[in-house]
Amino acid sequence: MSVLITGAAGFIGYHLARRLLSEGHRVIGIDDHNAYYDPALKAAREAQLTPFPGYLSLRGGIQTPGLLTSIMARHRPRVVVHLAAQAGVRHSIEAPDAYLASNLGGTFQLLQAARAHPPAHLVMASSSSVYGGSPAMPYRETDRTDQPMSFYAATKKATEGMAHSYAALYGLPITMLRFFTVYGPWGRPDMAPFLFTQALMQDRPIPLFNRGRMQRDFTYVDDLIGAIRALMDVIPHHPAIPVAGDSLSPVAPWRVVNIGNGAPVPLMAFIDALQVATGRTARLQMLPMQPGDVAATWADTTLLDRLTGPREPTALAVGLARYVDLSLIHISEPTRPL
């Protein structure tokens, strides 16, 4: 099987590409290696992929007009997994233009390319951020998502709507994936697991927003990749018999699926587990809530389990132990400012 992955040198893109290559699939990976965080980390991830004979590395910004269309015309991937995006809730307050260009402009270019050269399945990353500040938890795919708390969340919600319109107009089978706080080896240095671990290893205070009164549905990256891989083979069809709790559109081959651990973890419990994994004692800096942030996330994974079978999520203590063990070298070193 031939798979195009956008954002292939990113955290999730790297892990997915490695999984598919290890299964013997052909992977076309595109990434622009932008400077949102140290590009050396993306280069190091990609260096793990290039030895595979089935990997083709392409460099470029997905928002470049016609680039993805030419790539899909040349390589005709059976499945496209769209992971490239400008990430980060807080950064979207400081640099919204980057989100407009990549998340909206880049996704538009992808949809146009898929319209011209339709894959059997287009799988696209969304985010748990689309649920906004809704107090009703766990979050279900059929919940309303019209109250975004950040511009990042707004762009992700917009990409879901854009994708639905192309599914309805052109019959493109599309699955949207709402990710919940993914962590693991080779993770992004702007995310809490990396920042907290680095602060512990360098004996610096850990900044805790909302004075630590936060909960997150932490999802280990291997669990996420397993779910994506399984969902690649679950192609939405229209028309289909409606099933209670399914987010399958009544008018298009389009579905949205949560991918999370299925259980929220208090931030202080996360720090306790991280202290055990590192053997270090944390110093805490209590701070007020950040604009655009939410106090808690919690995924209802009933639909995921129904579509892909029962799962055994990685326990937080186990996931953090693996994360720390495989990440100490680059976590211990100072990172460049974002």
Could you read off the pLDDT of 100-153 as tens digits, one per residue? 999 999 999 999 999 999 999 999 999 999 999 888 899 999 999 999 999 999
Q: Identify the pLDDT of residue 158.
A: 98
Q: Identify the pLDDT of residue 121.
A: 98
Measured at the alpha carbon of residue 25, what is the angle toward residues 20 and 26, in degrees to the nearest 5?
Answer: 110
Q: Identify the pLDDT of residue 241.
A: 78
Q: Identify the pLDDT of residue 179.
A: 98
Distance CA 258, CA 44 (A): 29
Distance CA 108, CA 232 (A): 21
Could you read off the pLDDT of 171-181 as tens digits, one per residue? 999 999 999 99
Residue 321 has pLDDT above 50, yes or no: yes
Is residue 129 within 8 A of residue 150, CB to CB? The reply is yes
Higher pLDDT, 156 or 134: 156
- Local confidence band at 292 (pLDDT 50, 70, 90 cut-offs): confident
Active site residue 183: no
Q: Identify the pLDDT of residue 330.
A: 53
| pTM of the entire predicted model | 0.94
Residue 224: what residue type? L
Q: What H or E segment, with its residue span, contains residue 268?
A: helix 267-278
Q: How large a percentage of the chain has pLDDT more than 90?
A: 85
- Local confidence band at 335 (pLDDT 50, 70, 90 cut-offs): very low
Q: Which residues does residue 10 pair with via DSSP β-bridges, in sequence order? A: none
Residue 281 has pLDDT above 80, yes or no: yes
Encoded tokens for 177: 């994936």
Instruction: Give the active site residue among 152, 166, 183, 220.
Output: 152
